[in-house]
Structure 1
Amino acid sequence: MTTDAGGDVDGDGLASRDPRREYDDLLVNRVESTRPAAELRRLRADEEAVRQGWVAAGVVLDPEGRVLVVDLADRGWALPGGTALPAEPLAATVEREVREETGVDAAAVRPHAIHDETMRAADGSVPPTPFRVVHFEARAPTATVPDDLAALGDDDETVRAVEWRETLPDGVYDAEWTDCVYRRIVA
């Protein structure tokens, strides 16, 4: 895991979204991954987050300093977040996704970290594919969560639970990186 603040931005037409242009103190997790060409083609075609290339996630804190987590059927406990819509500012993305997944209204404070992955085909037949997750600090004015979970999430996303926790739950999605980001924000 790399935690530095620099980094060139790929010429992917979305460089203006990159928070490294505005913040020079972000934690950066740079990853290069190699996948079978067929898998990378499928991801580029079928996965909205990979097609868009930008995701925003929130470390949402309530007035007591508790963190908001969501239990999703496809990945377990995670920070709320999701894919940026075309031309949507990342701060707006995290606020929208927190509301959609948890029913909580939270205000983005600022980004603190970016997971910056470039996926490559093992045989070089697919163009390198950037995928970035920007982690924001966000604040909620109250610690209320909805009773009806059926209205939360997207059609392809099942929300099993929404909770405020004193710390991150055991087994949180991408635990090492998530814990690093969380500790940065609550420090």
Structure 2
Amino acid sequence: MEHREGRERADRRRRRPAVVDPDNLIARYDGVRARPDKRETLAPDRWESARTREQNETSWGVGALVETDAGVLLARQGDKWFLPGGMHEHGETHAEGAAREVREETGVTVEITDLLAITEQTFVHAEDGREFAFRFATFRGEPTDTTLATNPGIDGETIDDVAWRETLPDNTFDRELVTRLRD
């Protein structure tokens, strides 16, 4: 299975999509509930690492808010809980990428139904002021299967745990936005 997924990922990367403007993505859906705009200054080593990764992908991240009666689906990396998500890949729609990321990180299969938020993040080099923009699209995912992976994530990923959480932990990344999207 992982070998096939690796080939599919390589095939997608060879098909380069047109750059998607956030407004164009929003127009494909019925608007968004939130559109945060953030700036973060990074030390030179973190800036170079983030910039290199961004240049190898599409300048977009994708993920999904997935909820059931059991709670909200979260993935933990280190001491932080996150909505499942990651880098949007060449050759897939943003919604396809969000569904793929949820499945890869948690084992849960979802159908993407709505675009909830687009976060626009500008990263600034701490020493010389260079900048680059990164965008993250958060969708709503309706689970078609709620079984969690016993070994979350894919090779090379550091997903420590996945869980259905009744309440958001205090150490949830961007907790205010996730709370807003759940209401």
TM above 0.5: yes
What band does the TM-score fall into relative to the shorter chain? 0.7 to 0.9
- The one-letter code matched in structure 2 to 1:93 is G
TM-score normalized with structure 2 length? 0.75
- 1:72 shift after superposition: 2.1
Matched, 1:140 2:143: yes
1:34-183 aligned within 5 A: 34-37=41-44, 39-45=46-52, 47-48=53-54, 51-62=57-68, 64=69, 66-73=71-78, 76-122=80-126, 124=128, 126=130, 128-146=131-149, 148-149=150-151, 152-183=152-183
TM-score normalized with structure 1 length? 0.74
Other-structure match for 1:19: 25
- State the alpha-carbon separation in 2 of the partners of residues 141 and 125 from structure 1: 45
Identity of counterpart residues, as a percentage? 27
Residues 25 and 159 of structure 1: CA distance in aligned 2, closer, same or farther (over 3 Å):
closer
- The one-letter code matched in structure 2 to 1:89 is T
Residues 61 and 49 of structure 1: CA distance in aligned 2, closer, same or farther (over 3 Å):
farther
- State the alpha-carbon separation in 2 of the partners of residues 162 and 49 from structure 1: 29
Q: Deviations over 1:57-81 (max 9, x none)?
A: 111123x2621111223x5211111
- State the alpha-carbon separation in 1 of the partners of residues 55 and 81 from structure 2: 19
Secondary structure of the residue aligned to 1:96 is helix
Other-structure match for 1:4: none
- The one-letter code matched in structure 2 to 1:14 is V
Residues 72 and 42 of structure 1: CA distance in aligned 2, closer, same or farther (over 3 Å):
closer
8 Å Cα contact 2:64-2:85 kept in structure 1: yes
- The one-letter code matched in structure 2 to 1:34 is T
Unaligned runs of 5+ residues in structure 2 are 1-17
- State the alpha-carbon separation in 2 of the partners of residues 123 and 51 from structure 1: 25
Aligned Cα RMSD in Å?
2.6
- 1:51 shift after superposition: 4.8
8 Å Cα contact 1:50-1:131 kept in structure 2: no
8 Å Cα contact 2:57-2:87 kept in structure 1: no
